[in-house]
Amino acid sequence: SKYVSDAQLVPPGTERASLTYFDAKAVMQALLDAGLGEKTLFGGYSNAHTAQWADIVRRFEAGSIHLADAASAMAQAVGYELPALKKEAARAEKELSELVRRQGEYERLAAAAEERYVAACDKKGLGTDCSREEIGRRLRESRSL
């Protein structure tokens, strides 16, 4: 059987005393995913760590403590996480509107540059055929004169 240390079982940044039902479920799922979910003939887990975490999860569920953890997580989300997400969305919208404004400005600048280019071509007598090839051909012709 595979060995898993106690330090690996507790989620990083979590004190043992502040473990929630969701932490316990995540640890239990990690143990099962690691292949430590073999059961004995009597239905218990053969790995001691898996058996302990299964017992912790069972106790949370038996006392309906997991419902209090869920309510606490929802209150945390409503009180802190949702306002933070709203602020982040507002910042993203502001950045998007700034980018749209800058895009419009660049499009106006490009159109003005194109107008100046066409006017310069007209002034030189190139008309609508103001391509690089035509300009190069005319330059070669003028040099040969």
3 state SS for 45-102: ECCHHHHHHHHHHHHHHHCCHHHHHHHHHHHHHHHHHHHHHHHHHHHHHHHHHHHHHH
**pLDDT-based confidence at 95, cuts 50/70/90?**
very high
Instruction: Check if the beta carbon of residue 21 is closer than 8 Å to that of residue 60.
Output: yes
Closest CA relative to residue 67, chosen from 17, 117, 128, 22: 22
Q: What pLDDT score does 46 carry? A: 85
**pLDDT-based confidence at 22, cuts 50/70/90?**
confident
| Mean per-residue pLDDT, 66-80 | 85
Q: How much is the pTM?
A: 0.43
pLDDT exceeds 50 at position 33? yes
Burial code (b: 16+ CB inside 10 Å, e: under 16) for 32-59 equals: beeebeeeeeeeebebebbbbbbebbee
pLDDT digits (tens, 9 = 90+) for 117-127: 888 888 877 77
45 φ/ψ angles, rounded to the nearest 5 degrees? -80, 140
